[in-house]
Structure 1
Amino acid sequence: MGWLADESGLDKCAANYVPLTPLSHLQRAADIFADREALVYGTQRWTYRAYHARVSRLASALAGLGVKPGDVVATLLPNIPAHAEAHFGVPACGAILNAINTRLDLDTVAYILEHAGAKVALVDSSLVDLVERACIIIGGGPRIIEVPDEQAGVAASGRHLIYEDLLAGGDPAWAWVMPQDEWESLALNYTSGTTGRPKGVVYHHRGAYLSTLSQPISWRMTLYPRYLTIVPMFHCNAWCHPWMIPALGGAVICLRDITARGIYQAVAQEKATHFGGAPIVLNTIVGANEAERLPFDHVVEVFTAGAPPPAATLAAIEPLGFNVTQVYGLTETYGPATECTWHEGFDALPQAERAAVKARTGVLMPFMEDITVLDPQMRPVPRDGAALGEIMHRGNGVMKGYFRNPEATRAAFDGGYFHSGDIAFRHEDGYIKIADRSKDIIISGGENVSSVEVEGALAHHPAVSLCAVVAKPDDKWGEVPCA
């Protein structure tokens, strides 16, 4: 195996080995980008010096509340500065961040709070009542720290300690609790399915760190990007982007409510250069009226995921100044794990063919070891653009496992790969294209019909803005597509 005949004196030590963690990005940024803009929210601005100090205050204040390494701290927050601060402040005291989807129902929020065992929860004032009721259901729950938002007109309830008051009692020079092992847990994200309870996906410091180095390569980022928060920070930690941007000395532009006007203002006035979002965000941009659109003079790089972007949407958005790249991943892969890498030869294709290529799922990102499509016997499917199999992942960008659910973890990792549940085929050039979720494939007359492909065909019609296709029972065919 690659060892020298004599390895004496070549052991790991403090000088040559430090556990990888995305926390190091903000520590570095506070030193070398101290006076650069780090966070933007409306009229508010914070430099990296101020950002680091606020994170240190948060970490020390949480420790003062009794939060210990290994404890869980939950958030129910929109994309506001406090949520970005929590991405560093919670792990900086050794705790694990549990960013909860703010759109979940009461019963699910209660389940997650109880299952994760959160000791403290940072809660937007608009959601305090929801969390209070969840705590009643579980007969306890975390201590609530309330985060009002004066800029958005969201006032405090007056029933809990306020976030800014918590920070005021913290220490801006507090020494962060850095991981001793890069396999230590960093975040706990619950992924919801159509059946059963959500599963808690556990991230380690190593995986998040490598994602923050891999994605800038895929996104062609250089120093000082201005990143717009459209992907919710509760969704795979906004694809690890809050941890990533400080590595490049960039600014995180917080956008609480996703509207066409808000996006155009951020691009035109704040000079946003990058953002991620689902195809519905692209439709929002394309569908903006003239009053909502503002002129800008730079190209905005967009990662889109969640569903293949319709060709009609791509054809409409790119002339507006947005370059779209399709990415794909899951909560279990820290967000994006594949990208539709663009080759020069694609530029010469007719518009319709270019759009079809852009809608591909793509190829693995640099931090993944292997992403392939395998049949039920775990054999690679032919690269013929037709044979279907399941997308399988292997690499440092795969979760540790499911929290308190070893059976589900074993099943997900069966055969040495993470089983995504996504059905796809491979083109001759190796590019993957999702056909459907395994449970969403429509079987009509014994043939597999991809709901994704039917949706794509419908989206070409000029009268169709959004569509969804599901299976409908049919006496003759068994199932037929229903839009």
Structure 2
Amino acid sequence: MDVPLVLTHFLDRAVTLYGEKRAVITEDREFTYRELNSRVNQLSYGLRNLGVEKGDRVAFLAPNTVEMLEGFYAVFQLGAIMVPLNIRLTPDDYVFILNHSESKILFVDQDLYHLIKPVKQKLESVEHIIVHYKNEETNETDYNVWLANQEGSAFKRAEIHENDVCSLLYTSGTTGKPKGVMLTHRNNYLHALSSMHHLRVTDQDIYLHVLPMFHVNGWGAPFYYTANGATHICLKKATPENICNAVKNHNVTVMHMAPTVLNSLLQYFAVHTPSIEQSVRVVIAGSAPPPAFVKRVEQELKWEFIQVYGMTESTPLSLISTIRSQLSDLPMEEQFSIKAKAGYPMIGCDVKVVKDDGTEVEHNGKEIGEVITRSHGVMKGYWKNEEATMETIRNGWLHTGDMGTVDEYGHIDIVDRKKDIIISGGENISSIEVEGVLYEHPAILEAAVIAIPHEKWGETPHAFVVEKNKGMVTEEEIIAFSRERLAHFKAVTGVTFIGELPKTASGKIQKMRLREEYWNTETTSGRFVN
């Protein structure tokens, strides 16, 4: 008889093989895998007592905590569906997502309760709100008190099939209302097996939760690190200082984060020079960093840099940039360039870069096309949105909306989002390439490039820049710097200095907001670009 690929197996395995090992360490508590499992059972009993049944949606609005981690497995035991919420949305966003998903129960961290309180009356399906770390002023159910009153013995699970939806993840909604991505047990299970192989996950790993668990389940961290009996370090606030202290104090061996977060760590290390002796792997996804950035991480921090690529709709990972054995003799500078790319397909993933007519681009690192993938991780579809599902998944292939090239070794390099490609005088310009050059300037801390209108060329690149120290560089100097290092049509034609780049909770730069800010400034100033 076939064993169904359901995610509850992963915690079962950890309890059987690593029951007395430390599973989770928080700021003031720690639990073994056996203790974590007991808490999961208590939560499952509590949810069942509240009327949660198979297929019901249970939402969590929380940072990286043990309460968030145990929520996945407790919800799964009921055959219910986990709805992790982005902690950086507005109250109205939560109204839409909770009502659209028809979530029955909402767990919320006390620090985030202020986002729910003003819109409680607008929640149409939520029957109970339960608060983690509740204070005396909040008039809701206290999670710890409620959990302590639940039974902790083995829980009789619902009958779960591998193609059942296990999680409903809402995309950021930068172009309209968020869409709920339906991922199944099978999606996450097979993705975990592939990812744990490529990321070399073992029971000796100590994993620091930097990337939020609501971000595609923190790239599967609740699954494949648990399956291997690794230790989870939960960090509610991922500041550079907190990350550094956790890495040092807990001998952390692996972290996942966005490039912007890693950049902030580089700045922190440059000032504080902490001593970290253990080997550390840092897994990065998002905009491709320049090779110089990879070099700094590996030579200054002495950490192994692993670039990956994926999206929520593919569970998420499809590509990885580690150096294959036949390329290990290449010069180090070329290896850094390869590591900065999105990479080659992971096991179980087919990935192509295609032109508008569907044919593949030449493997010359120059011809640009859209990245498409088919794999065990491709979503079941968008929740209650068949039209968007059919638009995204065509002939079995997930169309990512990302534009890329393929080099002679078969490595895919993401050059931009389809909507972020700058077309100037008929030439395609990658905003990521321009940003990579700007990051080489010693005065620039962060940079993002967007397209702005130009009377002659149609569009030209415009940079938003965060300085390391205010007043260190002028707009003219940055323009000249980019013209020295890029073909002139790719160079920036203007610069806006900004205190901080707008980012998602996972650290991804929100270019939509930069475009809005640019247009608002231009409209109010009465200026135009020529």
Residue of structure 2 aligned with 1:302, choices 282, 286, 293? 282
Identify the residue that residue 105 of structure 1 maps to in structure 2.
90
Residues 59 and 176 of structure 1 are in contact (CA less than 8 Å); yes or no, is this contact kept in structure 2? no
Deviation per CA, 1:31-52: give whole Å up to 9, x if none.
2211000001123110000000
The CA deviation at 1:176 is: 4.4
Residues 21 and 179 of structure 1 are in contact (CA less than 8 Å); yes or no, is this contact kept in structure 2? no
User: Aligned pair 1:24/2:9, yes or no?
Assistant: yes
Identity %: 37
1:304-319 paired onto structure 2 within 5 Å: 304-319=284-299
CA separation of 1:99/1:428 partners in 2, compared to 1, >3 Å: closer, same or farther? same
Identify the residue that residue 55 of structure 2 maps to in structure 1.
70
Deviation per CA, 1:218-274: give whole Å up to 9, x if none.
112222311000110110010111111121111110011111221122211101111
Match of 1:357, as an amino acid? I
Distance 1:111 1:404 in 2: 13
Secondary structure of the corresponding residue to residue 338 of structure 1? strand
Match of 1:147, as an amino acid? H
Residue of structure 2 aligned with 1:49, choices 3, 18, 34? 34
Residue of structure 2 aligned with 1:202, choices 178, 182, 198? 182
Secondary structure of the corresponding residue to residue 268 of structure 2? coil
Deviation per CA, 1:330-387: give whole Å up to 9, x if none.
011112221013124555544543322111111111132x111111222211111111
Identify the residue that residue 262 of structure 2 maps to in structure 1.
282
1:33-432 paired onto structure 2 within 5 Å: 33-138=18-123, 141-148=126-133, 155=135, 157-288=137-268, 292-319=272-299, 320-344=301-325, 346-368=327-349, 370-432=350-412
Distance 1:123 1:157 in 2: 15
Secondary structure of the corresponding residue to residue 466 of structure 1? strand
The CA deviation at 1:139 is: 5.0
The CA deviation at 1:312 is: 2.9
Secondary structure of the corresponding residue to residue 438 of structure 2? helix
Secondary structure of the corresponding residue to residue 465 of structure 1? strand
The CA deviation at 1:21 is: 1.3
Residues 45 and 150 of structure 2 are in contact (CA less than 8 Å); yes or no, is this contact kept in structure 1? yes
Residue of structure 1 aligned with 2:451, choices 464, 467, 471? 471
Structure 1 unpaired stretches of 5+: 1-15, 150-154
Residues 98 and 125 of structure 2 are in contact (CA less than 8 Å); yes or no, is this contact kept in structure 1? no
- The number of residue pairs the alignment matches comes to 462
Distance 2:189 2:225 in 1: 12
The CA deviation at 1:304 is: 0.1
Distance 2:24 2:174 in 1: 36
Match of 1:478, as an amino acid? G
Match of 2:314, as an amino acid? T
Moved more, 110-119 or 315-324: 315-324
CA separation of 1:302/1:176 partners in 2, compared to 1, >3 Å: closer, same or farther? farther
Residues 266 and 272 of structure 1 are in contact (CA less than 8 Å); yes or no, is this contact kept in structure 2? yes
Distance 2:96 2:218 in 1: 22
CA separation of 1:394/1:32 partners in 2, compared to 1, >3 Å: closer, same or farther? same
Residues 384 and 426 of structure 1 are in contact (CA less than 8 Å); yes or no, is this contact kept in structure 2? yes
Residues 76 and 121 of structure 1 are in contact (CA less than 8 Å); yes or no, is this contact kept in structure 2? yes
CA separation of 1:427/1:281 partners in 2, compared to 1, >3 Å: closer, same or farther? same
Deviation per CA, 1:115-166: give whole Å up to 9, x if none.
00110011011222311323323456342100017xxxxx354311111122
Deviation per CA, 1:54-80: give whole Å up to 9, x if none.
001001100101111100000000001
Moved more, 350-359 or 332-341: 350-359
Secondary structure of the corresponding residue to residue 231 of structure 1? coil
CA separation of 1:428/1:41 partners in 2, compared to 1, >3 Å: closer, same or farther? same
Match of 1:199, as an amino acid? K
Residues 298 and 321 of structure 1 are in contact (CA less than 8 Å); yes or no, is this contact kept in structure 2? no
User: Aligned pair 1:450/2:435, yes or no?
Assistant: no
Relative to the length of structure 2, the TM-score reads 0.84
CA separation of 1:312/1:179 partners in 2, compared to 1, >3 Å: closer, same or farther? farther
CA separation of 1:352/1:461 partners in 2, compared to 1, >3 Å: closer, same or farther? farther
Deviation per CA, 1:1-44: give whole Å up to 9, x if none.
xxxxxxxxxxxxxxx21210121110121122110000011231
Distance 1:274 1:88 in 2: 22
Deviation per CA, 1:260-307: give whole Å up to 9, x if none.
221122211101111100111211211115775531211101110011
The runs of at least 4 consecutive aligned structure 1 residues that moved more than 6 Å come to none
Distance 2:274 2:127 in 1: 43
Identify the residue that residue 13 of structure 1 maps to in structure 2.
none
CA separation of 1:180/1:451 partners in 2, compared to 1, >3 Å: closer, same or farther? same
Secondary structure of the corresponding residue to residue 210 of structure 1? helix
Distance 2:96 2:264 in 1: 33
Distance 1:289 1:342 in 2: 26
Distance 2:71 2:362 in 1: 45
Residues 201 and 399 of structure 1 are in contact (CA less than 8 Å); yes or no, is this contact kept in structure 2? yes
Residues 4 and 162 of structure 2 are in contact (CA less than 8 Å); yes or no, is this contact kept in structure 1? yes
Residues 282 and 303 of structure 2 are in contact (CA less than 8 Å); yes or no, is this contact kept in structure 1? yes
Residues 123 and 144 of structure 1 are in contact (CA less than 8 Å); yes or no, is this contact kept in structure 2? yes
Residues 6 and 161 of structure 2 are in contact (CA less than 8 Å); yes or no, is this contact kept in structure 1? no
Secondary structure of the corresponding residue to residue 268 of structure 1? helix
Residues 22 and 212 of structure 1 are in contact (CA less than 8 Å); yes or no, is this contact kept in structure 2? no
Structure 2 unpaired stretches of 5+: 464-530
Distance 2:158 2:319 in 1: 29
Identify the residue that residue 501 of structure 2 maps to in structure 1.
none
Distance 1:251 1:232 in 2: 17
Moved more, 184-193 or 350-359: 350-359
Deviation per CA, 1:390-447: give whole Å up to 9, x if none.
1111011111100000011111111220010001111121110101100111110011
CA separation of 1:93/1:139 partners in 2, compared to 1, >3 Å: closer, same or farther? closer
Secondary structure of the corresponding residue to residue 196 of structure 2? helix
Match of 2:132, as an amino acid? V
Residues 315 and 351 of structure 1 are in contact (CA less than 8 Å); yes or no, is this contact kept in structure 2? no
Give the aligned CA root-mean-square deviation in angstroms.
1.6
Match of 1:29, as an amino acid? A
